[in-house]
Amino acid sequence: MIAQPATLWHATATPAALRPPAMGEITADLLVIGGGFAGLSTALHATEAGLRVVLLEASHVAFGATGRNAGFVVPNFAKVDPDGIRASLGEAKGGQLVQMAATSADLVFDLINRHAIACDAQRSGWIQPSHSEAALARAKDRVRQWSAMGRPVEYLTAAAVQNLTGAQGWLGGWIDHSGGVLNPVSYAHGLARAAEAAGAQIFENARVTSLTPVSSGWQARTDAATIHAARVVNVTNAYADHLIPGLAHSFFPLKVFQIATEPLPQSVRARLLPGGQCVSDSRRNLFTFRFDAANRLITGGMHILGLGADARVPKTIHRRMAQMLNLPDLPPLQYAWSGRAAVMPSFLPRLITPAPGLIAGIACNGRGIAMTTAMGRELALWATGTPVEALAIPASPPAPIPLHALMRHAPNALLPISQWRDRLESPPDLGR
Ligand SMILES: Cc1cc2nc3c(=O)[nH]c(=O)nc-3n(C[C@H](O)[C@H](O)[C@H](O)COP(=O)(O)OP(=O)(O)OC[C@H]3O[C@@H](n4cnc5c(N)ncnc54)[C@H](O)[C@@H]3O)c2cc1C
């Protein structure tokens, strides 16, 4: 039976702290809006740097994409590589951004260790198997680029991919040993606890409904409180409302589904991913999988048509996983959920500067656990006075995507073409 509406992660996470509502007048050096990884990491780093920090979350900590992802810790970008980033952003800025990404998984696992966050974390590595000759050539090139930076990456032959994953058909691939897996809700709860232990105040059920510039900085209102802060960081990701004009139109909001099966028998578990890594292959309609701590298999996917997708897509991606992993008796679905990812046109993290003392950050692009944690550290630097130009992430005023109402559907509408191209390029024995 499918468990609803909780995600697997909410159902199995370490318990959340009980937080009082935000009431009355509150003064802070920094107001953080949004209780996902980005907001929690900003709050933690800024508090540790000595600021008085208040974080307001409209729902509860890890309500957004932070509580709804697959728990893959991936220290790179989905569509762009170091050479391309340096070419497009310049040696200095590009180099800074690439260095931030390269060390982003280090930061996640360091925080987990430093704050003793119990989140089923395993630094087992992230594997990207290649579905085509072109993808294999790209895997070799990605290994060249990241290893030139001293990263623990390795090229994998087809046999090595098969040994590591237990699945057949890929032509080879690569692994970044600095990645891994975790329970994202437990990680978020741990970041929140660490920020509070350092002195941050976190309020839930506290949607910011207005933001007004005042002589001392900014005034934010919720239903029950007024917050006065010198600076404001907005990290509402694809859950952004109309608080900052133009922000929600500067990215593509992508609905992504996730499922988890009932636990697999130990005999099958021992054959698939014995090392406990996570896998995202090179297809446009990428195939992903990992196990959770109780041996449930987890995968994800997108929809082409929104209508009826909540009921249809989990079954479709369950069937795809059974086929991909050659598991005709794959246990049934136990959890199915979805979340929204914010994808920038450049597929790179971006800081948005709508007004002095106010900054927004989007580092999601579907690979956000490591990247948003690292962005939070950058935003904390900004909050303590580092000029925005000196940060590792490029910044610009809001730049709404032309024809956004139409263009926001493009990633879903183009999915059949992606599937068709994937099929043309893949060897026949690689499941669909
Ligand atoms: C299905 C799915 C699978 C994914 N899998 C992976 C993965 O395996 N690995 C990976 O690295 N990344 C993955 N990602 C991406 C990753 O989850 C996100 O990049 C990351 O969680 C974004 O964190 P965030 O803090 O920027 O935003 P979010 O976690 O989305 O948080 C934004 C928060 O802002 C709050 N908010 C909005 N408006 C207001 C307001 N006015 N006042 C107060 N609060 C407000 C929302 O309630 C929300 O909690 C996945 C994403 C999805 C959707």
Q: Separation of 131 CA from ligand 1 center, angstroms? A: 29
Q: How confident is the model at residue 308 (pLDDT cuts 50, 70, 90)?
A: confident
**In the chain, pLDDT over 70 holds for what percent of residues?**
98
From residue 267, alpha-carbon distances to 165, 279, 293, 424 in Å are 15, 20, 16, 34
What is the pLDDT of the chain when averaged over all its residues? Answer: 94
Q: Residue of the nearest CA to atom 2 in ligand 1?
A: 69
Q: What pTM does this model have?
A: 0.96
Instruction: Give the pLDDT score at 432.
Output: 53
Q: Is the CB of 70 under 6 A from ligand 1?
A: yes
Q: 171 phi and psi, to 5 degrees?
A: -85, -10
Q: Is the CB of 101 under 6 A from ligand 1?
A: no
Whole-angstrom distance, CA of residue 324 vs CA of residue 94: 37
The per-residue pLDDT for range 16-70, each reduced to its tens digit, is 888 988 999 999 999 999 999 999 999 999 999 999 999 999 999 999 999 999 9
The per-residue pLDDT for range 224-252, each reduced to its tens digit, is 999 999 999 999 999 999 999 999 999 99
Angle at 142 between CA 292 and CA 429, to 5 degrees: 60
Residue 21 DSSP symbol: P
CB contact set of 117 (below 8 Å; sequence gap of 6+) = 111, 186, 187, 189, 190, 191, 193, 194
Query: Ligand 1 pocket check: which of 119, 244, 364, 371 to mutate, most ligand atoms within 8 Å of Cβ?
Result: 364
Helices 104-114 and 91-102: crossing angle in degrees, nearest 10, is: 40
Nearest one of 72, 265, 330, 332 to 179, comparing CA atoms: 72
Q: Which residue has the tokens 């609905």?
A: 255
Q: Residue of the nearest CA to atom 16 in ligand 1?
A: 368
3-state secondary structure of 119: coil
From residue 293, alpha-carbon distances to 8, 16, 121 in Å are 11, 19, 9
Q: Separation of 146 CA from ligand 1 center, angstroms? A: 26
Q: Separation of 369 CA from ligand 1 center, angstroms? A: 9
Strand partners, 127: 175, 279
Sign of CA dihedral 42, 47, 51, 52: positive
Q: Residue of the nearest CA to atom 50 in ligand 1?
A: 69
Whole-angstrom distance, CA of residue 162 vs CA of residue 352: 43
* Mean pLDDT value across residues 403-427: 80
Q: How confident is the model at residue 4 (pLDDT cuts 50, 70, 90)?
A: low
Instruction: Give the pLDDT score at 364.
Output: 76
Whole-angstrom distance, CA of residue 410 vs CA of residue 396: 24
Domains and CATH numbers, the chain: 8-425 (3.50.50.60)
Q: Is the CB of 344 under 6 A from ligand 1?
A: no
Q: Is the CB of 349 under 6 A from ligand 1?
A: no
Residue 326 DSSP symbol: T
The amino acid occupying position 430 is L
- Chain-centroid distance of CA 245 in Å reads 24
Query: CA-CA-CA-CA torsion for 100, 103, 108, 111, nearest 10 degrees?
Result: -100
* Between residues 1 and 288, the one the model is more confident about: 288
Whole-angstrom distance, CA of residue 400 vs CA of residue 387: 24
Q: Is the CB of 377 under 6 A from ligand 1?
A: no
Instruction: Give the pLDDT score at 37.
Output: 98
The tokens for 95 are 């180099």
End-to-end CA distance of the chain: 25
For 137-203, list the strands marked E by DSSP: 153-157, 172-176, 180-181, 201-203
The per-residue pLDDT for range 138-190, each reduced to its tens digit, is 999 999 999 999 999 999 999 999 999 999 999 999 999 999 999 999 999 99
